[in-house]
Amino acid sequence: MPLLVVGSVGLDSIETPHGKVEEVLGGSAVYFSWAANFFTPVRLVGVVGNDFPKHYRELLSKRSIDTAGLKELEGKTFRWRGRYQGTMHSATTLSVELNVFGQYEPRIPETFRDSRFVFLANGLPSLQQRVLEQMKGPEFVAADTMNHWINEKKAELLEVLKRIDALILNDEEARQLTGESNLIKAARRLQAIGPKYIIIKKGEHGAVLTTPEGFFLMPGFPTENVKDPTGAGDSFAGGLMGYLAKKKVVTEGTLKQAIVYGTIIASFNVEDFSIQQLQRITLEDIEERRRKFEAMVRFH
């Protein structure tokens, strides 16, 4: 089932207690696409500058990631520089250069508009809205957001929530958006605004899912060697949406399994910088870790 993602493509410079990299391939749409592509072809929509290394574009195209929607504009590519310290719970942004991403107005290629599954990566809510307006009635739309938009563009964000099927966000964002510290109550409030499904990520502590029928809890995979947390959220969303697009139907059951796959792929992603670890692994590695994980969380 065609899966479309609209998000950032950029060059990241990252420092963690385990190493340092300069201008590696990054951005929400990249992590998402690579993760989702274990299950399904992906259509990537984003923008880069004319300094974007050719081999990065080729890297994406060699997989079944369609980069026809990856526009190249005159100027520089989006750049982010960040540092993780100590327990690496959150990054300190050292610098952000929006560059061509700053004036970006996503135009969905005609051939992509029939995509049945759509993921709106974290971005300006009004821009997420305009992406949806170009789509031809997708079956399942999920979106991510972040604290910045909750603070600055709450009204626009609430408009987006009315038009999507699933919201994927972290626990802090859920609390901030609803003013409710209890996650169950926060999830129910978000559901009342619009999305049928709320997926709250709790980092190493796993995720919770609320559906119209129930509430589900899932521990995180206990990764022993975290090298760089960048892209954990986007690779989680990619694994999740990729699995759903492959299954073609969204039910409580497929969604729960999708969260397991998202968790597993994110656990690989953080084991190295950029998408390096995701480039090394195969679907068989994912299945092996998934079986291990399912045994860890089985309590009968």
Residues that bind a copy of itself (CB under 8 A): 87, 181-185, 202, 205-206, 208, 214-220, 222, 224, 253, 256-257, 259-260, 294-297, 299-300
CA distances from 32 to 26, 28, 189, 194, 278 (A): 10, 6, 27, 24, 11
Least distance (Å) between residue 259 CB and a copy of itself: 8
45 forms beta bridges with 6, 69
Is the CB of 120 or the CB of 218 nearer to a copy of itself? 218
End-to-end Cα spacing for the chain: 35
Least distance (Å) between residue 244 CB and a copy of itself: 15
Is the CB of 131 or the CB of 260 nearer to a copy of itself? 260
- Residue 298 neighbours by CB under 8 Å, 6+ apart: none
Task: List, in sequence order, every beta strand (DSSP E) within the chain.
Answer: 3-6, 10-16, 19-26, 42-49, 65-73, 78-84, 91-97, 117-120, 140-144, 166-170, 197-201, 207-210, 215-218
Least distance (Å) between residue 117 CB and a copy of itself: 21
Is the CB of 148 or the CB of 205 nearer to a copy of itself? 205
Least distance (Å) between residue 107 CB and a copy of itself: 39
Count how many residues are written for the chain.
300
Least distance (Å) between residue 77 CB and a copy of itself: 35
Nearest to 42 by CA among 138, 112, 145, 104: 112
Is the CB of 74 or the CB of 213 nearer to a copy of itself? 213
Is the CB of 103 or the CB of 182 nearer to a copy of itself? 182
Encoded amino acid at 230, one letter: T
